Amino acid sequence: MTVSTIPRFKADEVSRYVNGLLELPWDPVYMNCWVLTRKVVLELFGIELPVSAIPPDKRRAKALAFTTHPERCNWVQTIAGMTDWAVALMHRRGHDPNFIEHAGVYLNLDGGGVLHMDDGHGVVFDSLFELPRIRTWAYPTLFVPRA
């Protein structure tokens, strides 16, 4: 099921936007993975995601919030190629897939990839191939707004 994006996904505009964010530095309060995800989803697609006050180093609290937050009811799981964009939730490669501790935005650019915040490198755009190999994140679970 393809979910249309509002506003319409325009790859050239999205690409320029992404390039403007690349390498912005990580900050535990002002620019962590969830702050970036919220910013991108709001600025590109007009959807406001909930604020989280959970510090990035509180792994268990983050994982619980990502899996049980009531906002999840407003989203459905999808796969890459079925949509132009999605919220990407990730767990560490080789760890419990229900222990989600990282977020980003899947974008159907350059074969598809995830724009996310890497604390050592800042904002990065990694292909789905690179995520598990370079960043040690498992293949993301992708969510789009419920139609």
CATH of the domain at 24: 3.90.1720.10
What are the residues whose beta carbons fall under 8 Å from the beta carbon of 30, sequence distance 6 or more? none
* Most confident by average pLDDT, 5-19, 32-46, 67-81: 32-46
Looking at residue 119, its pLDDT comes to 81
Looking at residue 54, its pLDDT comes to 83
Looking at residue 5, its pLDDT comes to 45
Confidence of residue 53 (pLDDT cuts 50, 70, 90): confident
Q: Does residue 1 sit within a domain?
A: no
- The backbone torsions φ and ψ at residue 114, rounded to the nearest 5 degrees and listed phi first, read -120, 125
Q: Does residue 63 sit within a domain?
A: no
pLDDT in tens, 116-126: 998 888 999 99
Looking at residue 67, its pLDDT comes to 87
Q: Does residue 59 sit within a domain?
A: no
Confidence of residue 4 (pLDDT cuts 50, 70, 90): very low
**pTM of the full structure:** 0.90
Whether 55 has a pLDDT exceeding 90, the answer reads no
Q: Does residue 5 sit within a domain?
A: no
Looking at residue 11, its pLDDT comes to 85
How much is the average pLDDT of 70-88? Answer: 92
Q: How many domains does the chain have?
A: 1
| Full domain range(s) for residue 21 | 11-47+77-145
How much is the average pLDDT of 52-73? Answer: 86
Q: Does residue 2 sit within a domain?
A: no
Classified as helix, coil or strand, 92 is: strand
Q: Does residue 88 sit within a domain?
A: yes
How much is the average pLDDT of 108-131? Answer: 93
Q: Does residue 100 sit within a domain?
A: yes
Whether 2 has a pLDDT exceeding 60, the answer reads no
Q: Where are the beta strands (DSSP E) in the chain?
A: 75-78, 85-90, 102-107, 113-118, 122-127, 141-145
